[in-house]
Amino acid sequence: MRKLRRIREKLPALQHVIVVDEKQAALKDGETAFDLEAAAPIDQFEAYPSDRETPSVLHYTSGTTGKPKGALHVHGSIFAQHMTAKWVLDLQPDDIYWCTADPGWVTGTSYGIIGAWSNGVTQFVYDGGFSADKWYQLIDKYR
């Protein structure tokens, strides 16, 4: 949210900002709170009719050699993310996995979120920047 709020005025096409599990008082103008715990359960959900080539995620490069560039991933990319998380990261069903990469970048999303979810692995996401003391506290607290 900090990052989005800093550039919000540069995003005239952005129509909705929905903040999950945040107190209404902490929101800024144009933001809407959504309380996940208080939301009514959904019994029926119609999936969007996609196939393996349907666009799913737009990742951005880090911009090391210039401005960041968008790289469109399709729904079929989940197979590579699943297999990488399973075989390379060796994620197991009883693991609690923390990918320390920023969740806004390709590694943080593909392997910190999508790969772990597709393998049924519990994950921990912390978007607070690096601090050795804080990270050791989080590891101790969440195992």
Give a yes or no: residue 48 inside a domain.
no
Examine the domain organization and report whether 139 and 79 are in the same domain. yes
In SS3 terms, 103-139 reads as CCCHHHHHHHHHHHHHCCCEEECCCCCCCHHHHHHHH
Please give the tally of structural domains in the chain.
2
Q: How far apart are the C-alpha atoms of 105 and 91, rounded to whole Å?
A: 20
Expressed as residue numbers, the domain containing 76 is 53-143
Examine the domain organization and report whether 75 and 36 are in the same domain. no
Give a yes or no: residue 119 inside a domain.
yes
Examine the domain organization and report whether 100 and 37 are in the same domain. no
pLDDT tens string 20-51: 877 666 788 888 888 888 889 889 989 899 99
pTM for the whole structure: 0.65
pLDDT of residue 25: 64
Q: How far apart are the C-alpha atoms of 141 and 128, rounded to whole Å?
A: 16
Examine the domain organization and report whether 74 and 113 are in the same domain. yes
